[in-house]
Amino acid sequence: MTQTLPPHGIGLYDVRSLRMARTVVPPLSEEDRAARDRVWDQAVAANPSLFDGPAVVCAGLEWEGPHRLLLFWAPVTYRHFALRRVPGCTAWLPSLFVNVLQPTDDGRVLVVRMSKTTAAPGRWQLPGGSAEPPADGGEMDERALRTHAARELAEETGAPLRPGMLKLWTVTRGENASIGLTYLAPPRPVSALQHDFAVLTEAERAAGREPELDEIALIGDPMRLADLTGPHADYLAPLVHRYSTTRPGASDS
């Protein structure tokens, strides 16, 4: 028998097997559609770098057994998320995103700050991004999401990891019900992470592009997150804490 996840609050879920099923978003009333478009247009006016590209929403989650999760997904565009700011609208569905917990070989975690041209300027989070529907209109599975997570890590930090080097580690649900798939990368030397990021940033600016990230930090003690000025993703502290207490050698620290 399937069990539905609790409806509210920040949650971390130990998922070892993920199955995905495609569905459709609920139809919008004319009033909600018009209000959504107004909110979106206002957001673009404030941040012209926003674009109405393809995205994915989570339409539901069910446990199919111990550590086995069924995720219902549907394709949308970024405009859909403007519905969250429409008073009284209940037709919106939460976003689905992927991120990567990248440890260092001395037990710290790489955290990153979004640049001013992104949808969340100044926010500290893990490397990652919104899930995207398959370009060919086909089905989405966990393998595709893992590949997307590896691509996001490379595009944001320069880390050259193959998708097969990532392992689904945790599923998170945020305060706004957004669902995140967190992948664990193998530990890397601090010098390699810093070098990759510096090379990527220099190349982006040389090409006349603003990098997606404007700073990185390495955090071992979750309490040190308080030293990072600016907003933090709601999942950041729980995930850093979980890694700091479960990583190999944590009991010896």
The pairing of beta strand 54-65 with beta strand 17-22 = unpaired
Structural domains for the chain: 3-252 (3.90.79.10)
CA angle 113, 114, 120 (to 5 degrees): 125
pLDDT beneath 70: ranges in the chain: 1-9, 251-253
The letter for the amino acid at 21 is A
> What pLDDT score does 35 carry?
95
Q: What b/e string do you get for 72-99 counting C-beta neighbours within 10 Å, with b at 16 or more?
A: bbbbbebbbbbbbebeebeebbbbbbbb
> Distance between CA 154 and CA 128 in Å, rounded?
9
> What pLDDT score does 1 carry?
37
> What pLDDT score does 8 carry?
52
> What pLDDT score does 251 carry?
62
Whole-model pTM: value is 0.91
